């Protein structure tokens, strides 16, 4: 639980930012009397709903908890767009004299544009987040790949975040889509849940229906550790997935060998020192000659250690591709890759934009994905 000081600080900053939006927009909208009233009412409601949504998990009563979470997360998404558009408007107002625009007219219509932009972007972002993720096809060229493994297909899903706003039906649709792809292997690269096994077991149950030639494999993400990782590891195993915690398996496919390893989340040692993420340990005891070494690692920043250990391909998630602008601009401050296929020495790293979403049900310029990767000869 966050400290009382942290809660007060967040509320203070949230209040300041809501007040800033009102201070910058309300005077410009006064030409149409009901607009300042509507904006003021929304800002007050938003200021109350956002912290309510963030703290909703502490409410035991259902469906009150989920409904409050929904309201708070929707408000957060709208607030984010409203704040960004307001700041961009201030830049436009600063530049307006250069174009000899009528100040009062421009101030009014630009304020109206801010409201419309926030509403439209939030609506589009909501649709993008709630629709079934599209399938993204990626070919990964591997040097020396045996002919038997050419075209080997791996379907990756990641960062679904089953929780207050993502439930059974959302995940069930994902599982059904994955199964239609008839993959050779399925990789679930962490951040499956936001909540306890007791709360969410009924909603993660569709995972038991995943089907592929060589099984489904799971690695923990940071959100599993926020939600009692040991219990989730046991539950995912009960559903029939193989959980790899600094471990590996070797798969034989038509006479060629594929090593599939998985590491605990990059931050796991902050919760349990015994579960420190270690790509080298994941290879311990592996046979000396395998055709391909695949690593499942929730965070892209495992890549340096994975390259050092000699892996050929790492599949990661965590970033959500930024989820919605402008947060994609901040991902590189923590992670080496935001999305897509990248190269680090002899290692390919694929970073999924995620199959669900976290927090606000909103995606802009970072669509969700179910990724179908094919190993091909370089």
Q: Is the pLDDT of residue 77 over 70?
A: yes
Beta strands in the chain (DSSP E): 134-142, 153-157, 185-188, 216-218, 242-243, 247-253, 256-262, 292-296, 313-316, 340-344, 347-351, 369-377
Total tally of structural domains belonging to the chain: 2
Neighbours of 298 (CB within 10 A): 30
Q: Tokens in use for 86?
A: 């307001």
pLDDT at 7: 86
Q: Is the pLDDT of residue 371 over 60?
A: yes
pLDDT at 100: 85
Burial track 310-329 (b if 16+ CB lie within 10 A, e otherwise): ebbbbbbbbbbbbbbeeebe
Based on the domain organization, do 160 and 124 belong to the same domain?
Answer: no
More confident residue, 62 or 19: 19
Q: Is the pLDDT of residue 59 over 90?
A: no
| Domain-terminating residue out of 130, 151, 177 | 130
Based on the domain organization, do 112 and 146 belong to the same domain?
Answer: no
More confident residue, 56 or 321: 321
Based on the domain organization, do 109 and 139 belong to the same domain?
Answer: no
Based on the domain organization, do 121 and 216 belong to the same domain?
Answer: no
pLDDT at 185: 98
Nearest to 292 by CA among 185, 154, 151, 143: 143
Q: What is the mean pLDDT of the chain?
A: 96
Tens-digit pLDDT profile for residues 253-310: 999 999 999 999 999 999 999 999 999 999 999 998 899 999 999 999 999 999 999 9
CB 57 within 8 A of CB 31: no
pLDDT at 103: 87
| Domain-terminating residue out of 113, 130, 147 | 130
pLDDT at 148: 97
pTM of the model: 0.95
Based on the domain organization, do 120 and 239 belong to the same domain?
Answer: no
The dihedrals phi and psi of 248, each to the nearest 5 degrees, come to -145, 160
**55/247 Cα distance (integer angstroms):** 36
Based on the domain organization, do 97 and 227 belong to the same domain?
Answer: no
Q: What residues make up the domain containing 105?
A: 4-130
| Domain-terminating residue out of 110, 130, 150 | 130
How do strand 247-253 and strand 256-262 relate by DSSP bridges? antiparallel
pLDDT at 243: 98
pLDDT at 3: 72
CATH of the domain at 212: 3.60.21.10
Tens-digit pLDDT profile for residues 136-152: 999 999 999 999 999 99
Q: Is the pLDDT of residue 166 over 90?
A: yes
**69/361 Cα distance (integer angstroms):** 11
More confident residue, 32 or 101: 32
Q: Is the pLDDT of residue 1 over 60?
A: no
pLDDT at 2: 63
Percent of the chain clearing pLDDT 70 (strictly above): 99
CB 325 within 8 A of CB 367: no
Q: Tokens in use for 105?
A: 């007219």
């Amino acid at each position: 639980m966050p400290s009382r000081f942290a809660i007060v600080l967040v509320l203070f900053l949230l209040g300041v930012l809501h007040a800033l939006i009102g201070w910058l927009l309300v005077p410009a909208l006064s030409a149409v009397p009901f607009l300042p009233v509507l904006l003021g009412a929304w800002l007050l409601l938003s200021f109350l709903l956002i912290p309510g949504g963030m703290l909703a998990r502490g409410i035991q009563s259902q469906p009150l908890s989920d409904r409050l979470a929904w309201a708070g997360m929707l408000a957060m998404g709208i607030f984010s767009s409203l704040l960004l558009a307001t700041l961009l408007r201030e830049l436009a107002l600063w530049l307006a004299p250069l174009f000899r625009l009528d100040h009062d007219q421009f101030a009014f219509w630009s304020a109206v544009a801010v409201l419309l932009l926030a509403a439209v972007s939030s609506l589009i972002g909501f649709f993008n987040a709630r629709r079934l993720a599209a399938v993204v096809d990626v070919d990964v060229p591997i040097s020396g790949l045996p002919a038997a493994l050419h075209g080997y297909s791996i379907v990756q899903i990641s960062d679904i975040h089953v929780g207050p706003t993502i439930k059974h039906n959302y995940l069930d649709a994902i599982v059904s889509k994955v199964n239609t792809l008839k993959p050779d292997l399925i990789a679930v690269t962490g951040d499956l849940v936001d909540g306890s096994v007791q709360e969410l077991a009924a909603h993660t149950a569709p995972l038991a229906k995943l089907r592929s030639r060589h099984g489904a494999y799971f690695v923990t993400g940071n959100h599993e550790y926020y939600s009692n990782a040991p219990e989730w590891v046991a539950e995912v195993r009960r559903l029939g997935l193989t959980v790899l915690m600094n471990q590996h398996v070797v798969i034989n496919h038509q006479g060629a060998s594929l090593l599939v390893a998985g590491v605990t989340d990059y931050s796991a040692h902050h919760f349990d020192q015994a579960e420190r993420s270690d790509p080298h340990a994941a290879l311990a005891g592996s046979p000396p000659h395998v055709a391909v070494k695949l690593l499942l690692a929730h965070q892209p920043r495992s890549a340096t250690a994975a390259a050092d250990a000699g892996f050929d391909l790492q599949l990661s998630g965590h970033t959500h591709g930024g989820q919605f602008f402008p947060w994609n601009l901040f991902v590189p401050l923590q992670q080496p890759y935001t999305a897509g296929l990248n190269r680090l020495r002899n290692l390919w790293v694929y970073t999924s934009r995620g199959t669900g979403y976290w927090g606000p049900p909103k995606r802009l310029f970072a669509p969700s994905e179910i990724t179908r990767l094919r190993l091909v000869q370089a």
